[in-house]
Amino acid sequence: MKLGNKSFLSLYDLSKDEIDRLIDLSIELKAEKKNGIYKYRLKNKNIALLFEKTSTRTRCAASVACFDEGGHAEFLGKNDIQMGKKESVRDTARVLGKIFDSIIYRGYKQETVKILSEYSGIPVINGLTDEEHPTQIIADLMTIKEKFNKLEGLKVCYIGDARNNVACSLIVGCLKMNVDIFVAAPKSLWPSDSFIVSAKLLSKKAGLYLTEDPLEAVKNSNVVYTDVWVSMGEENAPDIDERIKLLKNYQVNKFVMDQTGLADSIFLHCLPASHEEESHYLEVSEEVFESKQSYVFEQAGNRLHTIKALLVTLLGGKV
Ligand code: CP
Ligand code: NVA
């Protein structure tokens, strides 16, 4: 895909060069904001934030990105609009396409974001579906590049529920950027065989390695990444207790971080993370979450600059 007046539905759609350009532009936009430089590249642009699931980072990043660039973001939560109740996705798409310049969608099925793009005729950005979370991964890659000054040749290790949206998008993003990705999860929580086969074709220089042993996966990793064990929409799934039991040896704690053997390895998490007060499991120990190795809040802040870079690129504003 060539970015510019197109949609961004999946990381599969972007080439390595396009991801590189988005990361570099995000770094530039971050510096501009720090220096109080505003160029209003989204002036007169109206962006619909169509969110069927809750959000802190993606919603706030998109709203502030629009404001910073002179555009307007309209939040359309699931209880605010007719879609899903009185109106079909197709009709909603056609209506929004006549009124807005772009849609950022967060919801359930990947199919929905495709329908929105097809029927609205305006650029649509996937702000998380059950299958993918592509905007998150651009921010993750930016955070890794800021820390290590490069991507190619690095090793990322993902530990936890490896079938979820973040894990699958991270695998695709790393391989596209020639970053080795090691995944540690119980076999029943690995991505599907068809996903693994197609992901492995994405890079000639880097590999995807799956194991059930977190200590093996984490060796020499520059980045250790995890996500919640129960994603949005799965709260009442019948296998949850079983899944949490299966994952109890997959917590990222200090012992696991130490096994990287590298003094400068970092911990990442897309957030929100589980904490003792509100969760009956912890995918990351408080010690690691609060440690110097934890870059989770830099990572969260980078959601702003990366969504801004995407909007500016997709809506064709002058960069
Ligand atoms: N990481 C992320 O997408 O956070 P939100 O769910 O708060 O948007
Ligand atoms: N896997 C998580 C990511 C949240 C940003 C979820 O879908 O809930």
Domains and CATH numbers, the chain: 11-132+303-314 (3.40.50.1370), 134-300 (3.40.50.1370)
- In ligand 1, the atom with minimum distance to the C-alpha of 128 is 3
Q: Among residues of the chain, what percentage have pLDDT more than 90?
A: 95
**58 Cβ inside 6 Å of ligand 1:** yes
Q: pLDDT over 70 for what percent of the chain? A: 97
What tens digit of pLDDT does each residue of 268-319 get?
999 999 999 889 899 999 999 999 999 999 999 999 999 999 999 999 764 4
Q: Is 273 in the pocket of ligand 1 (CB under 6 A)?
A: no
Ligand 2 atom closest to residue 166's alpha carbon, by position in its atom list: 1
Q: Token pair 């290590």 is at which residue?
A: 148
Tokens in use for 167? 């894990």
The pLDDT score that the predictor gives to residue 317 is 60
Average pLDDT over residues 93-103: 98
Which residue, judged by its Cα, is nearest atom 6 of ligand 1?
55
For residue range 27-84, list pLDDT tens digits in order. Answer: 999 999 999 999 999 999 999 999 999 999 999 999 999 999 999 999 999 999 999 8
The Å distance, Cα 270 to ligand 1 centre, comes to 7
Say whether pTM exceeds 0.85: yes
Give the residue numbers annotated as catalytic, written as ranges.
106, 133, 136, 227, 270, 303
> Ligand 1 pocket, 270 CB below 6 A?
yes
Give the mean pLDDT of 2-31: 91
Residue type, 190: W
- pLDDT exceeds 70 at position 263: yes
CA dihedral 74, 62, 275, 190 (to 10 degrees): 110
Task: Name the residue at shortest CA distance from atom 2 of ligand 2.
Answer: 231
Q: Per mean pLDDT, which range of 138-142, 247-251, 274-278 is the poorest?
A: 274-278
Measure 156 CA to ligand 2 centroid, in angstroms: 19
**Residue whose CA is closest, atom 6 of ligand 2?**
231
Instruction: Indicate if the pLDDT at residue 1 is higher than 50.
Output: no
Cβ atoms of 141 and 173 closer than 8 Å: yes
Q: pLDDT tens, 109-129? A: 999 999 999 999 999 999 999
Q: Does residue 22 carry a pLDDT above 70?
A: yes
Indicate whether 229 pLDDT > 90: yes
